[in-house]
Structure 1
């Protein structure tokens, strides 16, 4: 298995000066006549800042952008899109489709390649570049779900949108392209590239890929069977209410329902279990610690001293359930004593905001180095334009020369000029996006052109920061992007005399734009990192991303309509019981 490690933030200075060399353990073929020892392992030094050296048996394909790769990637991305909406509404977390698309895409297209031989469209050789196209399309189709797990549901809960979800439709896509010479590692995309490389490493790689596919397929079907079966045996396969059992065994005379009221039961949700595996021990323990502090210490104390109250869930007809309360009520705020959930919302959000802002400050070296690089690139571009017009600027020429001399070990872009994403492609898209945003936000959300442009500028700034920080830490600061943009827009709109609902709607839309732009920018830029390591033409990846994202524009709102139709409580801020906790909406 290929492995890589995230660099600490303080390592960025060294990263900017010397190309990193990682020891990567890979399976290799040891060919002795017809004999292959799949179990043999070799350590090789791999420079993770230059394109990887692929196996000699890999068939090179001039055009890896194939119909089968894009179609398979989009289908896999659609599955991840639905999964992310479910996970986001449940836990507030979403996960990229890159690794899922890379491994499952390998299995599906490899079968097609072997089954159909040289049949057009379905058959033909299959290599790592086409594999990266699959994961690029999957990433595009699996994105844009983030705004539907936070900002959009929040607007419905605050009743700033009068229409139903079926009548509300639209999305803003921001794709930011950055240079590769910043010496950023991008841990997850690098791991994806190494995984694709290992899967295409001859017979041993194929067997390793098969083991990955078996593990994923087993987890997929086990989760599917468990979830379907749990509907017929909820108390056995899904919810384990220990304190309810104790209360029943005591003859309905225990104090256990008071503990049950605080939500202390175990839920066998494969999605949650998988999320816990992915986020790691530190994050999982932090979340559990927060739950204990909030719902086992602070919450009961607030109720005991009378600062908060709960809603009784029993009456005279069900005296055996005396002591069972709901502490999640968010209705009649300001008119009656609040619930613990409302009280705990404020310190929880403040901790998230302060932590996210502190993270931006801690990453000052990353941000500073990125700003210097962007300034140098701008000087080079301006100097080139002046030279072409027969003009000269001593300042820009010196800056351009310093930039070229100062970046030692800069990796030249291996892509041919015709394989690059042309400036007119992304710049025209950027202009159309801003114009479209001004029109859509004005007529659909009631935002002025000035506020929309400000939101777009904030979205670009936080996208840039998200790429730099996420590339080093592997964690995209979406909370910081959303809350910071909300603070800025809140300050701008506070003196404009807007109605409360209008101000809330504009604030949430701006936060969704900033965090959504940062999320999409980081995800799609990560795809370019994977393609760079595998030698995939950037323009082909760009096309795959665009096609996948186009599908996501229609798919994500459709999935949101489906979920809210099946679970109307998602849009009801006063609902006391709901299958989805929507933590991001509350924040």
Structure 2
């Protein structure tokens, strides 16, 4: 592979940008990729940025046509940017609540939103995030301390494929090959015969220790890295190999008589509390330290932490506010004044999330959600709809705001037109809301029976549900053992969050990942084992062939994720049609 560093283009007249084919390509890719993130979010609580997949596929299709036909117009750099903006906006729709507060609301209240109201709600909170990003854009993009690493990775890929077109074609072949393999394995497991879930013994199988034949999990393991992968393995051993047998022996968790096989549903009702406590406390501690560091650095350089942006499309912002406030009242019976209170909180927390993403590349959507839950727990104690769905406003708008800020970073570097990027983002959110909701309803037709099970652990749902239960009923409603577990998990989480944010990077990498450690308490051990396997395999390959891993590891992993998840969604739709 050529080692020439991609060069930024000179900003001249833009020939084609928001073209019909760019929008249609991004829309079709968004339709394909959105269910993948919904599936992965419900399965393991994580999602995948689809910008690079969209870039590779769009470039390969249109540049391939341009080479074969003299009549076809070349696929421009700016069309590629619009294509990935639409597709990534659609795929990031899960931050609107589909894999966390919306299912948690159903589990706690028994109320399941119909498809149309759910689409309207997910779109509204995401639409609000777009306009918050628009107003934040001038101040954040001009702050040299904010690098937006995720946006820069997309930019590097975009420029690289235009400098080295053959590399894009090679990566696309790897992507499609991995997707076909993963999809085939899932299809065989679903329609032909169930692949074996091997376990060393019946006792370990009872504790969820088995080999899950899921290439999606191996793919995510290849992305998360060796530190997170080994932490998941450590967490699985501690939670399911250490605490779970003790809980059963002491009678703190009662398993129904005569039940056989994995006892995930019974055990996770206890184990999720220390896991959630660890994740929430570590992310909040880390977030506080990072924000303080950003504030201190901005003061020392004489830069303003906040600049008043120029007036923008106020009509869009007002429409977004009206949608969010009215839907809270109509769908969830939330008082209008309480619904209005969500707007300034959403703006503040979205701004916080955008600055953190700009500095670290890590979107703190989980921390933002829990912060907003805590805020509404104080303002309106004991009210589940307010605690979940008003907090959903802040989390959903923060997710879409950070996604668009990364696109704005790419756009600024290549001289894109900001208002055309906003149009592309809105189109992506609209498509993603429709496709995401129908994918969720196809996968989880009965949330009460299907979620928080070994098949659908839904760790983000468990987190939002646990926080809402605690703030609604108080710690007194929990057993003494769970209260002790929450306290211990919180202390460990705070310590890990502080150490991770204050130690030098070369030392912090040897710490366990607090988020992964807590997540392992909520996932079945089989899931953590397979993700750890993927991380270890990728690390071993990188030690032997570092350049090969750098070129193809993420692409192959993305293919494994997309192949299984798309096949899984298709299988669910098939079951619905024939059921």
Provide TM-score, normalisation by structure 1: 0.71
Which stretches of structure 1, 4 residues or longer, exceed 6 Å deviation after superposition? none
Whose helix proportion is higher, 1 or 2?
2
Aligned match of 1:208: 167
Whose strand proportion is higher, 1 or 2?
1
1:83 aligned residue (21, 33, 36): 36
Aligned match of 1:475: 362
Are the aligned partners of 1:312 and 1:326 in contact in 2 as well (CA < 8 Å)? Answer: no
Are the aligned partners of 1:312 and 1:325 in contact in 2 as well (CA < 8 Å)? Answer: no
1:223 aligns with 2:182: yes
Give matches, 1:103-118, under 5 Å: 103-118=56-71
Aligned match of 2:440: 560
Q: Secondary structure at the match of 1:154?
A: helix
Q: Tell me the CA shift for residue 370 of structure 1.
A: 6.5
Q: Tell me the CA shift for residue 163 of structure 1.
A: 5.1
Aligned match of 1:355: 282
Aligned match of 1:17: none
User: Using a 3 Å threshold, how does the CA distance of structure 1 residues 144 and 296 change in structure 2: closer, same or farther?
Assistant: same
Aligned match of 1:518: 398
1:142 aligns with 2:91: yes
CA distance in 1, matches of 2:12, 2:321: 42
1:240 aligns with 2:197: yes
Q: Tell me the CA shift for residue 362 of structure 1.
A: 1.8
CA distance in 1, matches of 2:461, 2:432: 21
CA distance in 2, matches of 1:224, 1:166: 30
2:325 aligned residue (400, 421, 438): 438
Q: Tell me the CA shift for residue 149 of structure 1.
A: 0.5
Computed over aligned residues only, the root mean square deviation of the Cα atoms, in angstroms, reads 2.5
2:240 aligned residue (273, 295, 311): 295
2:345 aligned residue (458, 472, 480): 458
Aligned match of 1:327: 263
1:93 aligns with 2:46: yes
Q: Secondary structure at the match of 1:242?
A: coil
1:345 aligns with 2:272: yes
CA distance in 2, matches of 1:586, 1:302: 19
CA distance in 1, matches of 2:353, 2:161: 30
Which of these two proteins has the greater Rg computed from alpha carbons? 1
Q: Tell me the CA shift for residue 82 of structure 1.
A: 0.4
CA distance in 2, matches of 1:160, 1:240: 33
Q: Secondary structure at the match of 2:225?
A: helix
Q: Tell me the CA shift for residue 108 of structure 1.
A: 1.6
Aligned match of 2:253: 308
Q: Tell me the CA shift for residue 112 of structure 1.
A: 3.3
Q: Tell me the CA shift for residue 564 of structure 1.
A: 2.1
**Structure 1: unaligned runs, 5 residues or longer:** 2-26, 28-40, 47-51, 244-255, 315-323, 330-338, 382-422, 495-499
Aligned match of 1:572: 449
Q: Tell me the CA shift for residue 356 of structure 1.
A: 0.9
Deviations 1:416-461 (A, max 9, x none): xxxxxxx442x22111111121211111111112222222222211
Q: Tell me the CA shift for residue 511 of structure 1.
A: 2.5
Provide TM-score, normalisation by structure 2: 0.72
CA distance in 2, matches of 1:576, 1:186: 34
User: Using a 3 Å threshold, how does the CA distance of structure 1 residues 326 and 212 change in structure 2: closer, same or farther?
Assistant: closer
Aligned match of 1:193: 155
Q: Tell me the CA shift for residue 113 of structure 1.
A: 2.9
Aligned match of 1:261: 206
Whose relative contact order is higher, 1 or 2, with alpha carbons under 8 Å and at least 6 apart?
2
1:67 aligned residue (8, 16, 20): 20
Q: Tell me the CA shift for residue 367 of structure 1.
A: 4.5
Q: Tell me the CA shift for residue 312 of structure 1.
A: 3.8
Aligned match of 1:365: 293
Q: Tell me the CA shift for residue 160 of structure 1.
A: 4.5
CA distance in 2, matches of 1:133, 1:278: 25
CA distance in 2, matches of 1:300, 1:517: 41
Q: Secondary structure at the match of 1:284?
A: helix
Q: Tell me the CA shift for residue 525 of structure 1.
A: 0.9
